[in-house]
Amino acid sequence: MKKLAVIAFGGNALLRAGERGTIEQQKVNVFKTCESLLELLKQDYHLVIGHGNGPQVGNIILQVDAGEKMYGIPEMPMDICGAYSQGFIGYLIEQQFKNVLNKYNIDKNILTLVTQVVVDKEDKAFQHPTKPIGLYYTDEQKDSIQQKNPSYTFALDPKGNGWRRVVASPKPLYVNNQDAVKDLVSKGYIVVSVGGGGIPVYKTDKGELKGIDAVIDKDLASSLLAVNIKADEFYILTDVPKVCINFRKSNEKSLDTITVAEAKQYLAEGHFTEGSMAPKIRAGIYFIENGGKKCIITEAESLGKPNSGTHIIA
């Protein structure tokens, strides 16, 4: 039987450091990332793809703000901006993955599902925003934006790139249409789902779905989907070949295989920062603790190669 793998694309799958983020740049990056997935296709895997949207949804919000200020165009809430980003990123992945498949004479279809993900409106995350979105700012730029938008919260990037706006990142509870994802995969489709962690929605007392200003962590949402569709393996693509402890210190050490218990210990010891590796480790732990066989955190170029990535196991 074919194995089922869920792959969470990191931000660098679309946008690399130092790039302006043009569509042409993102097309090239997506093509390269999708080409790396051929190793899994050659090993006869079914594939489901999740992806981030931090820079993209941040840019959309900036464009919306500019349109409202300059032309009076009605402002769009964050959930709608998230839906925008899901649509165009899904389009890029569909298009470029199909170009990859055509290049290698592989007959397979890719389908994107614009995905709502249910959260709890009372989640404590709304009191403590942590999820970075949008551009990096200098001290002066951050102060200027915050004067105009006092409700905004900013945090310093752990890699020293400057300040970024942070928003609430509530826990995903349920992925809408997850049964459809499983059905499509069983029929041979490559499915793109939970883009940007999914569009965050909550249920009212009447059972109606309503959008809410937040960004769900794409790794945790992908992990939840992977558990619920009973994926065998969960891959988290990032910009480093392996997870490290004592990162950027003289005693830095890369990790090959760690157990859930070891991963929890490293988290407790503060080896992984929020907005960077910590959410990825938590997503891997969640997958393994809920029936998954193996989580691999690595860069796209290392996919399918021997001894690649950091493996989290039971």
- Domain ranges (residues) in the chain: 7-121+175-313
- CATH number 3.30.360.10 given to 7-121+175-313: no
User: Residue 20's pLDDT is what?
Assistant: 87
Query: Hey, which residues are catalytic here?
Result: 11-12, 131, 218, 280
Model pTM greater than 0.85? Answer: yes
Any idea what the Cα angle at residue 98 is, between residues 298 and 39, rounded to 5°?
A: 35
User: Residue 268's pLDDT is what?
Assistant: 96
Block residue for tokens 């939970």: 194
Across 37-41, 62-66, 94-98, 175-179, least confident range:
62-66
Nearest Cα residue to 167 out of 156, 154, 158, 182:
154
Tokens read off for 245: 């402890």
Q: Which helix (H) or strand (E) holds 39?
A: helix 38-42
pLDDT by residue (tens digit) across 151-171? 889 999 888 889 988 899 999
Residue 119 has pLDDT above 90, yes or no: yes
In this structure, the strands spanning 116-118 and 174-175 are antiparallel
Average pLDDT over residues 62-86: 91
Average pLDDT over residues 42-47: 94
**Residue 122 carries which DSSP code?**
T
pLDDT by residue (tens digit) across 87-116? 999 999 999 999 999 999 999 999 999 999
pLDDT by residue (tens digit) across 159-208? 888 998 889 999 999 999 999 999 999 999 999 999 999 999 999 999 99
Average pLDDT over residues 127-132: 86
- The whole-angstrom separation of Cα 181 and Cα 183 is 5
pLDDT by residue (tens digit) across 213-262? 899 999 999 999 999 999 999 999 998 999 999 988 999 999 999 999 99
- Give rounded-to-5 percent helix, strand, coil for the chain: 40, 25, 35
Alpha-carbon Rg for the chain, nearest whole angstrom, is 19
Query: Average pLDDT, whole number, for the chain?
Result: 93
Residue 50 has pLDDT above 90, yes or no: yes
pLDDT by residue (tens digit) across 282-314? 999 999 999 999 999 999 988 877 888 999 999
